[in-house]
Amino acid sequence: MVPRRPTHTPSPGLPLVGLRSNAVELGRTHPAQYRSKPGHGPACAKPIAALNAHAGPNLLFSEFQTKTQSVIHHDGAKMVGIIFDCDGVLADNEKQSCASWLPVLERRGLRVNIEDIEPFIGKSDAALIEAFKQRGVPDLDDDALQEREQEYFALVRGRLKAFPGQIACLEALKHDRIPMAVASSGRHEKIAFTLGEVGLSGFFDAISSSTEVPNGKPAPDVFLLAANRLGIAPAECWVVEDSLAGIRGARAAGMTAVGFASTYEVSSLLQAGAHWVFAHYDDLLKSVKTR
């Protein structure tokens, strides 16, 4: 019998954001100081620009993003219910979600930077594990997933925030009896913890995880599962996603893909196939009211 890896203590010194720079506290500056231009990264302080430079074109983290203009083109899309991604959509946590993998991989002999994790934003843990197994990382098993979750829990506990206008939007949707579901690449334990931290546990009629389906995003499986649990036809669902993989999965499911510009810029979300994009939850609510 192979002995189980001993219980570990989450890494105490891991910074919450931006592992490429010590300038992470700049992200706490009032967002009105920053301005995004269409098709470009945030025109802000140089340390933050450098922080995002390694992540690939048009990748933002919402803490550094400015009040980008929403691009709304409904194209007559019918909506009966809404399916939300979790990380980066219902909680401002994409950077912490990425960062929580770093100590897990380091304990297995591979030191990586956060930009090595960013290509897996929106994808399943299985996709990341398979990629790093191909790089020769041993012991990426259930123990590794549990360790990663404990690292994530330690990073975000008591620190997560809802996005501006988010709770008011969800309250209005619930008041109007619009069915809502969560479809996330994360495990159910991580989803439940995240929703609890931002006070959203009671809003959703169904929660689906990529761990329940054969293929993770950008495959449509988890979205189709969520629609089935809501009892709504795919063509009558809007999917709110911040990731490119999620947008592609929503399109593959035959749903209306609604981009939330918290992680990627508007231009990247539209290029990935988003029918339209919003940057503030007020705009999502207005779109629902005027659909």
pLDDT in the model for residue 108: 87
Is residue 148 located within the same domain as residue 230?
no
Residue 51 belongs to some domain of the structure: no
Residue 217 belongs to some domain of the structure: yes
Domain that holds residue 103: 94-156
Is residue 86 located within the same domain as residue 216?
yes
Is residue 166 located within the same domain as residue 284?
yes
Share of the chain above pLDDT 90, in %: 62
Q: What is the rounded CA–CA span in Å between residue 79 and residue 256?
A: 8
Q: What is the mean pLDDT of the chain?
A: 79
CATH number at residue 151: 1.10.150
Domain end call among 130, 156, 182:
156
Is residue 167 located within the same domain as residue 243?
yes
Is residue 283 located within the same domain as residue 234?
yes
Which two tokens mark 209? 């995880």
Is residue 165 located within the same domain as residue 202?
yes
Point out the residues that are catalytic.
85
Please report where in the chains the tokens 């969520």 appear, as a residue: 226
What digits encode the pLDDT tens for the residues 145-167?
899 999 999 999 999 999 999 99
Is residue 198 located within the same domain as residue 108?
no
Domain end call among 110, 125, 156:
156
Which two tokens mark 199? 């006070």
Structural domain total, the chain: 2
Residue 69 belongs to some domain of the structure: no
Instruction: Decide if 274 contacts 248 (C-beta within 8 A).
Output: no
Residue 199 belongs to some domain of the structure: yes
What digits encode the pLDDT tens for the residues 95-142?
999 999 999 999 988 888 999 999 999 998 888 988 888 887 777 887
Residue 46 belongs to some domain of the structure: no
Is residue 202 located within the same domain as residue 176?
yes
Q: What is the rounded CA–CA span in Å between residue 123 and residue 108?
A: 22
